[in-house]
Amino acid sequence: MSTRIAKPAARMRKLPRQARSIATVEAIIEAGAHVLSELGWAGFSTNKVAEAAGVSIGSLYQYFPDKLALVEAIRRRHFDHVLSVIREASAEEKPLKQFARELVRGMIGAHSIHPTLHQVLLDEVPGDRGSRAAHASFQARYLEHYAAAVAQYRKRRKDTETMARVLSSAVEGVIHNAARRNMLDAPELQKQLGELIQAYISGGKAA
């Protein structure tokens, strides 16, 4: 719930020491997320990000050695956020209905600021050497939470992992699609997504 200050280093040219520069770095990352979400990877240029951040291009390169380091910082922040949402939703034991509702609410919240950032990060941004590992580890932990939830509400232990993958990608698909149409906050959509989750997890008894 609290805004993360982001772990100190993610391949930065130098660390911001004063409050001024911390704000600058923050503005750059924020503007970067915005540009990436709005224009996609194709429109993500360092100059554009600097301008959107209200900062000179020189300042950007004072802290980020190159374009990819910046995008890695953006990715890290976003993934941390999403991860915390799922962690909270799947924490403790609670009725399926409540889990579904919290998951939907959290996921929608996480996408409301930069609606398509998540997909752009997954699909368009090139997977460079260094970030591949971090990326995979994120995906793994991401799935773990879904799998834990699936296992909790299900007797059959068989297809847990596949189900987790199907469920997570289905949820992402719905949210991504809603984001594209600016329908992220339509209540009937939230309700239906919740029911999709419940229906799938609670299994295929009714034909």
Partner DNA sequence: ATGAATGTGAGTATCCTGTTTATATTCTCG
Partner DNA sequence: CGAGAATATAAACAGGATACTCACATTCAT
Residue ranges that bind a copy of itself, judged by CB under 8 A: 40-42, 96-97, 116, 119, 122-124, 159, 162-163, 165-174, 176-178, 180, 186, 188-189, 192-193, 195-196, 198-200, 202-207
- Count of residues that interact with DNA, criterion CB under 7 A: 26
Q: Which amino acid is at 137?
A: S
Spatial CA neighbour of 54 closest among 80, 78, 81, 27: 27
Query: Are 36 and 120 contacting, i.e. CB atoms less than 8 angstroms apart?
Result: yes
Spatial separation of the C-alpha atoms in residues 118 and 106, rounded to whole Å: 14
Spatial separation of the C-alpha atoms in residues 64 and 196, rounded to whole Å: 42
Q: Which is nearer to DNA, 9 or 140 (by Cβ)?
A: 9
Q: Which long-range contacts (CB under 8 A, 24 or more apart) does 18-23 make?
A: 21/63
Contact between 122 and DNA by CB under 7 A: the answer reads: no
Binding partner of 18, given a copy of itself, DNA, none, CB within 5-8 angstroms per partner class? DNA
Give the shortest CB-36-to-a copy of itself separation in angstroms.
Answer: 12
Catalog residues that contact DNA under the rule CB under 7 A: 14-21, 23-24, 43-48, 55-62, 66-67
